[in-house]
Structure 1
C-alpha cells in the first residue's frame, strides 16, 4: 500500500493531475491546429500561451514556494479547461480572439502547475529513485495524451472536418476533474521519505525573498549551461505537430498518430529509466550513455524528417505531398511517415527525461528545485513561443526542419558537459550530504 504522504504517493497524484490536464492539452495539440483544419488560430494561441508561460514559469517557482503546491495547482488546472472550451466558441463563431486570450491565461496556469510538478517529481524522492520517479510520472502523464488521443480518433473516424464540440467538451470535463484531484496534494512539509527523512523543512519564504532568489538564477552557471537545451526542448513541437502531422495526414490519421506519439513517450521513458537508475554503473557513465543515445536517436530522426520534408512544401487542406494526404489505411505508403512520427515522440521523451535527471542531481531542496524547474520551463516556453510564431508566419517548412536540427546540435555539447561535470562532482566524498534533508545544497550552490 502506497502511503499518502510518501514521495511515491504524491508523484502518483501529480502524475494523475498532469494526465488529466497537460495530457489532454497534448492530445489536442498533437492533432495539429488543436483539431482545426486551419492551424493559424492554434499557432497564434500557442504563441500567446508560451509567451506568458515563459514569464510565469520563472515566477511559478516563487508562487509555489510562497503558496504551496495544492491550491495553485488546482487553480492552474482550470486554465486548461478554459483554453479547451474556447474552441467550442471558435467552432460556432469563427472568431479567434477568445482562444488567444485563453492561451494567455493558460500560460499563467501552466507555469505554476509545472513548477509544482517539478518539486514533487525530482525533489521528493531519494537519489537512487529519481530516474524511476521521472519515468513513473512520464508514463502516467503521457497516458493522458494516449487516451485523450483515442477520443478524437473514435469520434472522428468518419469525420473529415475540424473536431466536433462533443470532443472539446469531453476534454473540458476531464480537465475540471484534474483540478479536483490537485486538491489531494499534500504540503511539502508533510512528505516523509521511506528512510524517515522529510522532503522539506518548514521555511516560509516571503515574496521579496523569492523575487531576489529568482533574479539570482540569471547568474547561476548551471542554469546558464542548461539554456540551449531548455530553449530547444519544446521548440520542435511547433513543426512536428503542425507542419508535419497536420500537414500531410488526414484528420483520423492525425488522431492515430497522436496515439502512437504518446505511446512512444511512455515506452521511451521507461527504457531510459532503466539506464539512469542502473546502479552497477557510476552516475557519470549513466549520464554519458543517456546523452549519447539521445543524441544519436535525435539526429537520425531529423535526418529522416528532412527526407520526408523534401516531398512537400505546404500542408493541409491543399497539401502538395507526393500522392496527396496520407491515410493510415493506405498500407506501405503510410508506414514510413507514421513510424517516423512514433520515433519523434520517443526521442522527445529521452530528451526531456535527461533534462529533468540533470536538474534532479543539482539539489534535493524543494524550494531550490521549484526555482530551477521554473527557470527550465520558462526558457523552454520561450523557445516554444518562437516556434509557434514561426509556423504562424508561414516560414518555409524546409527552413524549419533545418533550424530545428541546428538548435538541437547546438544544445548537445552543453548538456553533455553539464551532465558530466555534475556526475563527477556527486561521486566525490564531499557530495554525500545531498541525500540529507538538512543539507540539500551542493558545494556549487552557494548561499540561497
Structure 2
C-alpha cells in the first residue's frame, strides 16, 4: 500500500516534473513492467505506470462495486419487497463504518492486491445471497452477506482511494479521479442494461430474475481475480521519473500509530467529516424511496442506467475542471465548492417539488400501479433522477480531489480514505435502517438536503485555508513514525539528465 516512512536508498522521492513526451528519454529498469508498446502510432504507458494501474483498479471496481451499484440501483436489490435489501445494506454499512476507520492500517500492511481481491470476493458473496433469496427467502444469508461485504469493501475502497489520490502527480489528480469514476460507473451502466433487456417488454412490477444475478456474480468473480494483476506500489514509476513514497516494512504498531497521528497532524480533516457522512446518505432515498417505490421494474432499470450514465458525465466535467491549467489550485478549490453548493440547492430544490407528489403510504399500497415510462408526467421525475446521478458524481469527485489536494503522502491518504469510507458508511447504515423502520419519505428528503448543504458550510474553512497551490515534500515527509527522523535527511534529489542515477 502506498505510504511513507523508511524510504529505501534506491528510491527517488522527489524528481523534477517532466511531461509525458519527455518520458521517452527516461531510463527505466530492464523489466517487463516497464516495456512500452505502440498501437496505431500511439505509444502506450508501461505496465507499472500510474495510468495503467489506475485502469486496472477501475476495472476491478467496474466489475465488483459497479455490479453492486447496478443491483441496488434497481431498488430493493431487484426484489419487489425491499426488506432483504434494507437489512443487508444496514449490516453492510454498519461493518463498513467500523472497518473503514482502520482500513488504511490493514491495507498498508496487507498490500494492494490482497485488499482489492478480498474485497471482490465479498461482492460475489453478496450477489450470490440475492440469487439464493430468489428461491429460499433466506433473510439470514443476505444479512450475513451484507455484513461480510462491509468488511471486504472497507479494504477495497481504502486501497482504491489511496491509489487514486497518491499515484498521480498533483496537476493530474482531478483527471485521474474522473477516469476512475467514469470506468467504475460504466460497470453500473452495463449492469443496469442486463435487467432492462430482460424486462423491457413487461410492465409488471416484479423483481429481477435469476439470469440477472448470475450475470452479476460472474463479473464480480472476474473482478476479484483481476486485482492480482496489479504491481506493488514501490514498482510504480511516474512519467516524470518519480516514484510513490513507500514504507519498506511497516509494522502494525507504526501503522496504527500513524492512523492516530493523523488526528494530531491534520485535525482540520474533522471539518470534512460531515461531507463524508453525506456522501452515502442519499442512496437509500434515491434507490429505494424514489426508484423502487415510484416506478415499475423496467422503468427502474432504465432510470438506473441513466443515473449512472450521468455519473460518468458528472465525473468527467468536474474531474477535468478541477485540473484546468493556468488557474491556481486554491482558486479551483473555491470554484468547486461554489459549484457544488449551487448544484445541491438547484437539484434538491426541484426534488422537493417531486417529493410532495407521493408518500410512503401511496408507495406501499399494492393497489396503486407503479409508474411506467409510457405514463404521462414521467419526463420530470426522469430528468430529476438523471441529475441526482450527476450530483452524486460531482460530490464524490470533489471530496476525493479535496483530500488529494491536502497531501501527496500515500500513508496519510490511505488514512483519509479510510476515514472517508468509514464515515460515509455509517451514514449509509443509518439511512438504510431508517427506511427499514418506515421513516416518512419527506423526512428522509429533508435530512438529505439539509446534510448536503450544511456539510459544505462546515467544510468551507478547510477549502479556504488548508488547500494550497502545491504541497511541499517536507510537509509530506514530516508525517511519519520516529524512524523517519533518521532517514528523511538522507532523501536525495535525482535529476533526469543522462548522467542521473537510474530509477
Using the size of structure 2 for normalisation, the TM-score is 0.83
Is 1:373–2:417 an aligned residue pair? Answer: yes
Q: Is the Cα contact below 8 Å between 2:262 and 2:412 reproduced in 1?
A: no
Deviation at 1:306, TM superposition (A): 1.3
Is 1:301–2:336 an aligned residue pair? Answer: no
Structure holding more helix per residue: 1
Aligned alpha-carbon RMSD (Å): 1.7
Q: Is the Cα contact below 8 Å between 1:51 and 1:104 reproduced in 2?
A: yes
Q: Secondary structure at the match of 2:197?
A: helix
Tell me which residue corresponds to 1:181.
Answer: 226
Q: Is the Cα contact below 8 Å between 1:326 and 1:333 reproduced in 2?
A: no
Tell me which residue corresponds to 2:282.
Answer: 236
Q: 2:190 aligns with which of 119, 122, 147?
A: 147
Deviation at 1:294, TM superposition (A): 1.2
1:320–1:418 CA distance, 2 compared to 1 (3 A)? farther
Tell me which residue corresponds to 2:365.
Answer: 318
Tell me which residue corresponds to 1:13.
Answer: 56
Q: Is the Cα contact below 8 Å between 2:236 and 2:243 reproduced in 1?
A: yes
- How far apart are the structure 2 equivalents of 1:442 and 1:208? 19
Deviation at 1:95, TM superposition (A): 2.3
Tell me which residue corresponds to 1:441.
Answer: 476
Is 1:356–2:396 an aligned residue pair? Answer: no
Q: Is the Cα contact below 8 Å between 2:121 and 2:221 reproduced in 1?
A: yes
Tell me which residue corresponds to 1:436.
Answer: none
- How far apart are the structure 2 equivalents of 1:326 and 1:285? 44
- How far apart are the structure 1 equivalents of 2:322 and 2:278? 22
- How far apart are the structure 2 equivalents of 1:198 and 1:53? 31
- How far apart are the structure 2 equivalents of 1:212 and 1:446? 9
Tell me which residue corresponds to 2:248.
Answer: 203
Deviation at 1:363, TM superposition (A): 1.8
Q: Is the Cα contact below 8 Å between 1:223 and 1:375 reproduced in 2?
A: no
Q: 2:82 aligns with which of 29, 39, 53?
A: 39
Q: Is the Cα contact below 8 Å between 1:122 and 1:364 reproduced in 2?
A: yes
Q: Secondary structure at the match of 1:347?
A: helix
- How far apart are the structure 2 equivalents of 1:103 and 1:389? 13
Tell me which residue corresponds to 1:71.
Answer: 114
- How far apart are the structure 2 equivalents of 1:326 and 1:383? 29
Q: 2:237 aligns with which of 192, 197, 203?
A: 192
Tell me which residue corresponds to 1:412.
Answer: 456
- How far apart are the structure 1 equivalents of 2:363 and 2:194? 22
Q: Is the Cα contact below 8 Å between 2:254 and 2:481 reproduced in 1?
A: no
Write out per-residue CA displacement over residues 140-181 of structure 1, whole angstroms, 9 at most, x where no aligned residue: 000011111000111122353111111101100000000111
Deviation at 1:212, TM superposition (A): 2.0
1:215–1:201 CA distance, 2 compared to 1 (3 A)? closer
Tell me which residue corresponds to 2:213.
Answer: 168
Q: Secondary structure at the match of 2:310?
A: helix
Deviation at 1:40, TM superposition (A): 1.5
1:32–1:343 CA distance, 2 compared to 1 (3 A)? same
- How far apart are the structure 1 equivalents of 2:185 and 2:268? 28
- How far apart are the structure 2 equivalents of 1:389 and 1:38? 15
Q: Is the Cα contact below 8 Å between 1:77 and 1:109 reproduced in 2?
A: yes
Deviation at 1:56, TM superposition (A): 1.2
Tell me which residue corresponds to 1:24.
Answer: 67
1:203–1:440 CA distance, 2 compared to 1 (3 A)? farther
- How far apart are the structure 2 equivalents of 1:312 and 1:121? 40
Q: Secondary structure at the match of 1:281?
A: coil
- How far apart are the structure 2 equivalents of 1:230 and 1:320? 39
1:261–1:406 CA distance, 2 compared to 1 (3 A)? same
Larger radius of gyration: 2
- How far apart are the structure 2 equivalents of 1:269 and 1:319? 38
Single out whichever of 72-81 and 10-19 deviates more from structure 2: 72-81
Deviation at 1:442, TM superposition (A): 7.5
Q: Is the Cα contact below 8 Å between 1:62 and 1:210 reproduced in 2?
A: yes
Using the size of structure 1 for normalisation, the TM-score is 0.93
Q: Equivalent residues in 2 for 1:193-342 (5 A)?
A: 193-219=238-264, 220-314=266-360, 316=363, 318=365, 324-330=369-375, 332-342=376-386
Write out per-residue CA displacement over residues 314-356 of structure 1, whole angstroms, 9 at most, x where no aligned residue: 26453798xx5221123x5110001100000001111111100
- How far apart are the structure 1 equivalents of 2:254 and 2:480? 16
Deviation at 1:274, TM superposition (A): 2.5
> How many pairs does the alignment contain?
435
- How far apart are the structure 2 equivalents of 1:125 and 1:361? 12
Single out whichever of 45-54 and 289-298 deviates more from structure 2: 289-298
